[in-house]
Structure 1
Amino acid sequence: QEAFDMGMVNAVVPHDALEETAYQWAQEILEKSPTSIKMLKFAMNLTDDGMVGQQVFAGEATRLAYMTEEAKEGRNAFLEKRKPNFGKNNWIP
């Protein structure tokens, strides 16, 4: 609870609800753009690459995001005020 109060964690749940809560968050994440998820995970791992590595990645990630069908679907869904359908771009085997 103290970590939650300090803003260090997003939620505090009883131990018996931990797996279900994690599953719900995972399902919410899976509704997002698969390429964005990959890029975000990659970006989190860049902390050891220094500033130059992070800047190079940011430029490439931005370029990639604007060139994909996922990006087009995300933009269209936002403009049409609907939930995006990334199903055709699903990255889960």
Structure 2
Amino acid sequence: MTLGEQFKQRREALQFTQQDLAKRTGMVRQQYQRLEAGGNPRLSTLALAADGLNAKLMLIPLEKWHAVQALLKGETGEARGLDADPWQGLLGDEDERNGG
């Protein structure tokens, strides 16, 4: 699912029209419409639209993607792959942190 599709899905779940969301964020409807259609918005525009949807943007390590998806779907078994520090060891730096 693309980011634009995720924005649309969230907007529809909240029963907002594109115009409703534009008013909530101070954007013009066409600007938000382009975001859902797969345009190339600025990061600040994405954050503004997310705020209007009572959501937050997040950078998720690929290694944790499936666990996050499972958590969002309520599948607790797969979500167990999430630990306190999702970035730990991703760059091979575990030994340096542990003094080795």
TM-score, normalised on structure 2? 0.30
Larger Rg: 2
Q: Which has the higher contact order (CA 8 A, sep 6+)?
A: 1
Q: Which has the higher helix share?
A: 1
TM-score, normalised on structure 1? 0.32
